[in-house]
Amino acid sequence: MSSVQYLVLAGVGAGEDLYRQLVSRKVEIVRALPLVDGFVCLLPETNVQKLNSLSSVQWVEQDYVIYVVGRETGYGRTVLFDSVPWGVRRIGAPKVWEQTRGQGVRVGILDTGIDLDHPDLLPNLVKGVNILNPDEPPEDDHGHGTHVAGIVGAARTGGGVIGVAPEAGLVPIKAFNDKGAARLSAVVQGIEWAVRNHIHVLNMSFGMSMASLALRRAVNAAHQQGIVLVAATGNDGRKSAAGYPARLQGVLGIGASTILDEVADFSTGGYGLDLVAPGKDILSTYLGGSIKTMSGTSMAAAHVSGVAALVLAWRPELSPDEVYDLLVEAAEPLAGAAASEQGAGLPDVARVLA
């Protein structure tokens, strides 16, 4: 009988008791997830019900696969090369660069890794981690993470593009593989690493449709540790509810807008959507030291992570909730779009810092 990977969660603080019970029943433990008082276990589906009967078990969920949310769009006719991409201009970042450029703020890119040799990213790269293979560097073998990182904080030193916060530290947390896929447990490990390593802003340009107690616990722990959490709402175009983790409390859920100040047709809205940001035909860094345009709420979330870095460099004492409130209160509503499509609207950094 084939085995399936599960996340087995104890009641809060009961992780040691759960470990003893799992060992006594000879359950195969793949790894511990201390941040969420849980374990990754491998067992036949028929044994799941038996696990639920253990006194220390609060919840058992499958170790689902999550995907990054972004798509390559090429160099569409509406996008001309500009070292300051239209999205960076639209949120007002250049207007505040004399005041703040994100210096001293570490932004975790929980994604497919980063092109560690990209000339526009090199000055801002901070040592990260490869969750999939801790002995290897967090090199991007997909492209999504490199694109997201450039939107947050490309430095333009390679003659390419500049990001929203061009002096913020970019910390690659590689949990997604070359297909843009990750186990839920790898994402939880990535969040745990961000907490342990005192990341200030965590960009999560990925999503899943199913709720997860493990993900909720990890997000809650990160929020309580003072990390500003930003996530993409999804690209299915529905306006009923964002995906997870964008839908979770303590996370800024970001939809996508276009160069025409319209909500992108693919942008997921509804419950969990807080803001929109540029996400259609976005020019940023890519593999092999190149630049490329991509579209998605992934790109939109990266703009807001950059904005958060600018704000925290300006006022480092702010809590995550205070950062959220500033961005929402200073947002500019898009004409003709309902709140279910755009949340509070488009953030404007100059208004935030005014």
CATH of residue 46:
3.30.70.80
Task: Judge whether 298 counts as a catalytic residue.
Answer: yes
Bridge partner list, 5: 42
Shared-domain flag, residues 101 and 162? yes
Pairing of strands 282-286, 275-278: unpaired
Shared-domain flag, residues 38 and 87? no
**C-alpha span between 306 and 207 (Å, rounded):** 19
Q: Among 13, 32, 63, where does a domain finish?
A: 63
Q: Phi, psi (5° rounding) for residue 289?
A: 75, 15
Q: Which of 118, 142, 144, 223 is catalytic?
A: 144
Shared-domain flag, residues 237 and 337? yes
Closest CA to 105 of 169, 21, 40, 36: 169
Q: What is the pLDDT of residue 47?
A: 76
Q: Among 46, 63, 80, where does a domain finish?
A: 63
Q: What is the pLDDT of residue 3?
A: 84
Helices 297-314 and 320-329 pack at an angle, to 10 degrees, of: 110
Q: What is the pLDDT of residue 75?
A: 43
Shared-domain flag, residues 73 and 48? no
Q: What is the pLDDT of residue 77?
A: 33
CATH number of domain containing 346: 3.40.50.200
Q: Phi, psi (5° rounding) for residue 136?
A: -110, 155
**C-alpha span between 301 and 87 (Å, rounded):** 12
Are the C-beta atoms of residues 278 and 303 closer than 8 Å to each other? yes
Shared-domain flag, residues 179 and 314? yes
Number of domains in the chain: 2
H or E stretch including 191?
Answer: helix 184-196
Q: What is the pLDDT of residue 78?
A: 36
Shared-domain flag, residues 157 and 39? no
Q: Which of 37, 63, 111, 120 is catalytic?
A: 111
**C-alpha span between 323 and 105 (Å, rounded):** 14
pTM score of the predicted model: 0.96
Shared-domain flag, residues 202 and 238? yes
Q: Which of 140, 298, 303, 305 is catalytic?
A: 298
Shared-domain flag, residues 221 and 317? yes
Shared-domain flag, residues 48 and 114? no
Residue 304 sits in which domain range?
66-353
Shared-domain flag, residues 25 and 112? no
The residue ranges of DSSP E strands in the chain, in sequence order, are 3-10, 28-33, 38-44, 57-62, 65-68, 71-72, 106-111, 129-130, 169-174, 181-183, 201-204, 206-207, 228-232, 251-257, 275-278, 282-286, 290-295
Q: What is the pLDDT of residue 320?
A: 99
Alpha carbon 103 to chain centroid distance?
Answer: 20
Shared-domain flag, residues 318 and 222? yes
Q: What is the pLDDT of residue 81?
A: 59
Consecutive 10-residue averages of pLDDT for the chain (354 residues): 88 90 93 97 83 89 89 46 88 97 99 98 98 98 97 89 98 98 98 99 96 98 99 94 97 98 97 98 95 96 99 98 97 96 97 90
Shared-domain flag, residues 130 and 51? no
Q: Among 48, 63, 78, where does a domain finish?
A: 63
